[in-house]
Amino acid sequence: MSHVVSPLRHVLIEGNKSYHNITEDLCSPTEKAPTREWYIAFLLSTAFFGLYIFTIVWTVWKGIGVWGANRTINWAWDITNFVWWIGIGHAGTLISAILLLFRQRWRTGVNRAAEAMTIFAVVCAGQFPIFHMGRVWLAFFIFPFPNTRGPLWANFNSPLLWDVFAISTYFSVSLLFWYTGLVPDLATVRDRATGFRKKMYEYASFGWTGSAKHWQRWESLSLILAGLSTPLVLSVHTIVSFDFATSVIPGWHTTIFPPYFVAGAIFSGFAMVLTLMLITRKVLKLEEYITLNHIESMNKVIVLTGTIVGVAYLTELFIAWYSGYIYEQFAFYNRVFGVYWWSYFGMMFCNVVSPQLFWSRKIRRSIWWTFFLSIVVNIGMWFERFVIIATTLARDYLPSSWSYYSPTWVEIGIFTGTMGLFFFLYLIFTRVAPVVAVAEVKSILKVAGSQYIGPNAKHGHGHDHHDSKSVPTHRTEEEA
């Protein structure tokens, strides 16, 4: 993982860290007793996780009728939440794989947590397609396995089946990628641990010794997995968008959906990464690893993808008008001015207008603004899916069947419950593994050599200059 850093660049890790500092900083959260904040957060998320289990049992026991969906709007919060979570689960792989391929070194500070987030988000997302089934106990019917029913196979024409493959593939590759990255770090934790912990980490790190051969294999595997995940980042949400795009319902039947969904997914994924990172770096005191530069970079991705999404919204409206087809036109008029107008305006404001604030460098580098807007973006992206799903179904071809949907307490419980599940997993993760990739961060830290641009540089050119450059960075952070 050697690399060349342009002398014009900012340092990626601040605070004059040595390799030892890094090990200490990043491994210590797994070694110390949790803080009170952690306990509070954990109890809260466990409570919501409990709510999740309760509402799911309730749904399976009573039937989907405990939800607010009806004969016209057969999908509502369930699939909205599914797409929302799946979208959130996009940032991790993008950061690990695509940014790796684009040699974006700043990714090392955030990729571990982002990948973990991806996995947990996919876990949450997966709950919805499973439990929205009327007969979840027969969910195994969707797998194409040899059987005595004919044999009767799954329907390979169905986008829902593609979903099954897309999501399970995405989940397994992401999990593998994440864990592969974890192995050397777990070994580091192991080396520092004693007793039972040592034993556990020994198993978890597969007997990693750090030999050159290990590193070489590790790097090859990482590269292969990166190569595998890169198309997945694009394919998963493309296929999720097919759930709608291949239908005949005006407002769903749109060719723009795949790119629009992918951009939206990256958009919401980055927003979620930001929300989490801002908390994590504060709580775990990782400000020097997850720096303002990281935040700014991610905000740039947000303003880009937010704008892409905005263009997509406008394109949809244009195409609806241009199509001259009344059902299409009506579907979009209805989105904007219909019974659910508030969700459309919520979506437009949160997704298109609010990220434009990031054109300002000051806001881009402001922790509070970033935190606030990252939440706004995720609210907006939730609205987007709600607009696409519920609003569209509520008013389709036959006016006789038009209906209105509002959620029941069970649906609200399930949604907030998956947030509990998500944070439950994430909080455990912060306790058992380094939330920043230790080995990868070390690879971008140079304490010596011609590439070294830190304050103690012994030789090279323009050190003073770089030195002075790195100082204002600190200052900016302090100002913020």
How far is Cα 108 from Cα 18, in angstroms, rounded to an integer?
16
Q: 60: number of CA atoms within 13 Å, CB side?
A: 14
Q: Amino acid identity, residue 359?
A: W
Give min distance, CB of 379 to other proteins, in A.
Answer: 25
Give min distance, CB of 66 to other proteins, in A.
Answer: 8
Give min distance, CB of 354 to other proteins, in A.
Answer: 27
Give min distance, CB of 217 to other proteins, in A.
Answer: 39
Q: Which is nearer to other proteins, 75 or 270 (CB)?
A: 75
Q: Which is nearer to other proteins, 65 or 462 (CB)?
A: 65
What six digits make up the tokens of 331?
């579907």
How far is Cα 408 from Cα 401, in angstroms, rounded to an integer?
21
What six digits make up the tokens of 181?
């990255």
Q: Which is nearer to other proteins, 153 or 371 (CB)?
A: 153
Give min distance, CB of 122 to other proteins, in A.
Answer: 19
How far is Cα 249 from Cα 379, in angstroms, rounded to an integer?
25
Give min distance, CB of 477 to other proteins, in A.
Answer: 49
Instruction: Enumerate the H helices of 36-110 as residue ranges.
Output: 36-62, 77-88, 91-93, 99-101
How far is Cα 44 from Cα 416, in angstroms, rounded to an integer?
11
∠ at Cα 30 (27, 35), nearest 5°?
120
Q: Which is nearer to other proteins, 242 or 383 (CB)?
A: 242
Q: Which is nearer to other proteins, 194 or 400 (CB)?
A: 400
Q: Which is nearer to other proteins, 61 or 102 (CB)?
A: 61
Q: 364: number of CA atoms within 13 Å, CB side?
A: 16
Q: Using CB under 8 A as the criterion, which residues of the chain lie in contact with other proteins when the complex forms?
A: 61-66, 68-72, 74-75, 129, 132-136, 138-139, 141-142, 152-155, 157-161, 164, 243, 246-249, 326-327, 329-330, 333-334, 337-338, 393, 395-403
Cα dihedral 45, 51, 56, 57, rounded to 10, equals: 130
Give min distance, CB of 149 to other proteins, in A.
Answer: 8
Q: Which is nearer to other proteins, 4 or 138 (CB)?
A: 138
Helix (H, G, I), strand (E, B) or coil at 143: coil
Q: Which is nearer to other proteins, 33 or 138 (CB)?
A: 138
Give min distance, CB of 387 to other proteins, in A.
Answer: 15
What does the DSSP assignment read for 148-198? SSSS----TT-HHHHHHHHHHHHHHHHHHHHHHHHHHHHHHHHHH--HHHH
